[in-house]
Amino acid sequence: MGPISKVHVEQPGLAVVEIAACDDQTAFAVQELLAERWATSTADRTTRDPGQPGVRLLCYLDVRQDLNA
C-alpha cells in the first residue's frame, strides 16, 4: 500500500478507505458499492502482502456531496 498524502485528507469530508477482502472480486464489489454512493477515486488492481491471506485495495472518497442526489 502506498502512503496516504495530505491531499487525500486535507479537508473535512475526504477519506481514505482500505478494503481487506478474501479475493479481488469481493474487494472490487465493496469498492463499487462505495462508488455508487459517494464520489470515489477507484483502484484498478489490488495488492497482496506476502505471507498474508487475502487482498487489499485503497480508494479515496469525497462524502461532501449531497447524499440524496
- Per-residue pLDDT of the chain in tens (69 residues, 90 and over written 9): 555 566 657 788 888 899 999 999 999 999 999 999 888 888 899 999 999 999 999 988 888 876 655
Assess if residue 39 is contained within a domain: yes
pTM of the model: 0.77
Assess if residue 54 is contained within a domain: yes
Phi, psi of 68 (to 5 degrees): -85, -5
Please give the pLDDT value at position 4: 56
Which residues neighbour 22 within 8 Å (Cβ) at sequence distance 6 or greater? 53, 54, 55
Please give the pLDDT value at position 29: 97
Assess if residue 68 is contained within a domain: no
Total number of domains in the chain: 1
Assess if residue 46 is contained within a domain: yes
The boundaries of the domain holding residue 50 are 11-62
The residue to which cell 440524496 is assigned = 68
Assess if residue 2 is contained within a domain: no
DSSP-based three-state secondary structure for 68: coil
